[in-house]
Amino acid sequence: MLRAFLFIAVLFIIDLYAYQAVRFSIRSLNPSTAKIIFWSYWSVSAICFALILLANFTDWHIWPKALRTYSFALVFILFVSKLIVAVFLLTDDVIRVIRFAGIRTVQAFNPSVTPANGITRAEFLVKAGLFAGAIPFFSLIWGMMYGAYQYTVRKAKISVNGLPDEFRNFRIVHISDLHTGSFHTKEPLQKAVKMINELKPDLICFTGDLVNDRHVELQPHVEALKGLNAKYGIYSVLGNHDYGDYYRWPSQEEKHDNLQKLIAMQKEMGWKLLIDEHDYIEVNGKKLAVAGVQNWSGRAGFQRYGNLDKAIKGMSGSFFNMLLSHDPSHWRNEVLKHEHIHLTLSGHTHGMQFGIEVPGWKWSPARYFYKEWAGLYAEGKQKIYVNRGLGFIGYPGRVGILPEITVIELTPDLSA
């Protein structure tokens, strides 16, 4: 609880600082208008503080889903925007202190210099701060209204040495991070399923985080996901959220039961969940191997449930070996040691649901946490594709980094 109050104290300081920019910009307005702005500003801030306290004093998982999701979004958007404004004002204050100290120093050596009675704020920096703060504010609002469900199909070709004719142009649709607990209606996932089926996949691979915390989040979407159709089936693995580690369970038994029910629901949907194991797709005696591990992360604070050695033990006789592993940091930490794993499919990063992507260049804060965070990467003859995720968690939207359905096509390696 102390942590919550400290967090609110930090936010209040940011809030107080950002308000100085608002007060400076409305100083020429009539008193009644300025008073309305004052009470509006601090009323919204008070609501944000109250929501933070309620989330700590109550079990926020039992809040109505829409209230929980958009309450978090309100707090996040407002304070990100205010933090940017505060940075500009802090810059202005540093400049003012330096100027004031400079004048005082000159006065010490030359008393005839006019005393400094104060350094006024730089109007340019205040207005620049308000403008800069408005950019994430309106961008994040747009991302909630339009970006969250703007599903984007991305294509990648993987050249395979000795690709059999039976697997020429074999189509793998890769999806990840559905986070069904974040959806308020059934329509978005129904739309996604329709888009995936229209791609006519030979194989569908799902790389984890089917729910946010609990198996019940999946229940409203089971029928839609049952409708996914691929010639050789659907393979899946577990992501860090699927274990229920971020939920306050009354007992370990209930947490274990939750995971078992989630596993059973995947079976009910017709998905083949790979738990540190592998399987083969065989056509006319030619085999493609698909291995899957439980969540394994190279970053501190995330679980290492998976056992890669167990998953690939005995895997042989296949012309191409593919691994499903939720967290892309697993690739550099363990997978690259196994040269016979040709392609790894991962998710997890979401591209942080925020960034910039233009032809030939992409950026997101995710790049400072994960070396491989979105798209296709190669190291020697091994490759990894990191899906940007189909759903969302926390912030209920996407800005720049849109939800993704990936189509991977196997083609012959003509350079071999």
Judge whether 146 and 382 are in contact, CB under 8 Å: no
Provide the pLDDT confidence category of residue 118 given band limits of 50, 70 and 90: low
Report the distance separating Cα 353 and Cα 355, nearest Å.
7
The pLDDT-based confidence of 74 (bands split at 50, 70, 90) is confident
Measure the CA angle with vertex 69, ends 64 and 71; round to 5°. Answer: 95
Rg (CA), the chain: 26
CA 277 – CA 285 distance, rounded (Å): 21
- Cα(295)–Cα(303) distance, integer angstroms: 6
Nearest CA among 319, 315, 373, 372 for reference residue 342: 319
DSSP state of 62: G
Question: What is the DSSP pairing of strand 356-358 with strand 234-236?
Answer: unpaired
pLDDT in tens, 386-415: 999 999 998 999 999 999 999 999 999 877
**Rounded Cα gap, residues 10 and 250, in angstroms:** 32
Strand order in the sheet with 286-292: 277-283, 286-292, 320-324, 343-346, 382-386, 375-379
DSSP for residue 58: T
User: DSSP string covering 285-325, please?
Assistant: TEEEEEEE---B-SSTTS-B---HHHHHTT--S-SEEEEE-
CA distance 14 to 79: 8
pLDDT of amino acid 1: 63
> Residue 271 carries which DSSP code?
E
Measured between its terminal Cα atoms, the distance across the chain in Å is 62
Contacting residues for 308 by C-beta, under 8 A, at least 6 apart? 276, 293, 296, 323, 325, 330, 334, 335, 338
226/221 Cα distance (integer angstroms): 9
The architecture of the domain spanning 150-412 is 4-Layer Sandwich (3.60)
CB 59 within 8 A of CB 126: no
Beta-carbon count within 10 A of 305 CB: 18
Residue 255 near residue 219 (C-beta atoms within 8 A): no
Q: What percent of the chain has pLDDT over 90?
A: 65
Q: For the chain, what percent of residues have pLDDT higher than 70?
A: 95
Question: Which of 200, 191, 327, 303 has the alpha carbon at shortest distance from 246?
Answer: 303
Least confident of 109-113, 184-188, 270-274, 308-312: 109-113
Where do the CATH 3.60.21.10 domains begin and end in the chain? 150-412
pLDDT digits (tens, 9 = 90+) for 120-169: 667 788 888 888 889 888 999 999 889 999 999 999 999 999 999 999 99
**Both structure tokens of 343:** 């392609």
Q: Is the pLDDT assigned to residue 360 strictly greater than 80?
A: yes
For β-strands 271-273 and 277-283, DSSP reports them as unpaired
